[in-house]
Amino acid sequence: MSPEPTVEQLIAAARAGATGDDELALLDAVIAVTKDLSSHADEAVDQVVRQVRAAGHSWTVIGERLGVSRQAARQRYADRVERIREAAATGSVIHGRDLESSLSSALAAARADGLAEAGTEHLLLGLLTDGVAAATLEQLGATRDKIREASHRLFEHPTDWPGGGVPVFSAEAEAALAAARQLANERTPDCAPIIVNTPQLLAVIATNPGSRARRVLNHLGVDVADIKRLLHCYINVPRTPFGRRSRRGRGGKKQRDRCSFCGHPRSEERRLVAGPDVWICAECVALCAEMLAQPADGGV
């Protein structure tokens, strides 16, 4: 499974290809970029529609860009745009669709194991369902069968569970989810809604040396440093008023230019492309191009 680009990467790619500097040109570009993608595509369009509405454009104009009527555009996006606006205003956290699917799969895995609670080892199983975390684990050889076998070897499982009721998340799993939300909060620009996806949850459970998930990964010989390296571009974005790295340190000294996606500084080996108050390195450009070149699920 190839990793899908994040909402921020989709919008960045659309901004790079936009034919103008206004919000409507960005909306045209993001529609073009996301038309063959799933998962984060709707979130990207939702966020840009919110920007277009904030700029004072009507649902009629938005509908024309989307190829639908004013009424259809409003019916499709009004509630979702309002939800994003409220989340940004209140600081509340939205679960991405890849995370929601993973959590549902984790509870199903706990039920299949005959457990009343889903632990972080079940979160690890659930993360193989969809998104960047699934691609990361698969790339490192952590398959569903291997994780399940290691979990059964490391932890006790009842053999006489009656099978009634719905499992809930264990205290350790709930703490991991809370930590993932906090990580998303710390790494999300102040002007954007806080959306937690699978990379944050995988980073949390993999780097906690005492978690059951970490014990499973150790048992499988998965190097946590490799997980951190593969997730770096998705979670290492410091929170600033506009999601940009400050170029001035103490005393007004100019800081080294850094990639706004992965955070690495400019060097002779790492060239940076400049945008409006933003930078992107050649490696992140190549990564975005590779992900956007991949066909959507089902080969559509």
> Per residue in 285-296, pLDDT tens?
877 776 677 665
Sign of CA pseudo-dihedral 77, 79, 80, 86 = positive
pLDDT digits (tens, 9 = 90+) for 225-267: 888 888 877 775 444 333 334 444 434 444 567 777 666 777 7
Please report the domains of the chain, with CATH numbers, ordered by start residue: 7-90 (no CATH), 95-235 (1.10.1780.10), 250-299 (no CATH)
Specify the long-range contacts of residues 280-286, CB closer than 8 Å, at least 24 apart: 280/12, 283/259, 284/233, 284/259
Q: How far apart are CA 259 and CA 282, in angstroms?
A: 9
**pLDDT in 10s for each residue of the chain, 300 residues:** 445 667 776 777 777 777 777 778 888 777 776 665 554 566 677 777 877 776 778 888 888 888 888 777 777 777 666 555 555 554 566 777 888 888 888 988 888 888 888 999 999 999 998 888 998 999 999 999 999 999 999 987 665 555 556 788 888 999 898 888 888 877 666 556 677 888 989 999 998 888 899 999 999 999 888 888 888 777 754 443 333 344 444 344 445 677 776 667 777 777 788 765 677 887 778 777 766 776 655 443
| CB 132 within 8 Å of CB 7 | no
Residue 137's pLDDT is 92
Residues 6+ apart with CB under 8 A from 268: none
Residue 7's pLDDT is 72
Residue 239's pLDDT is 40
Question: Taking the complete model, does pTM exceed 0.75, yes or no?
Answer: no
| CB 229 within 8 Å of CB 257 | no
| CB 131 within 8 Å of CB 72 | no
Give residue 236's identity as a one-letter amino acid code: N
Sign of CA pseudo-dihedral 38, 242, 85, 90 = positive
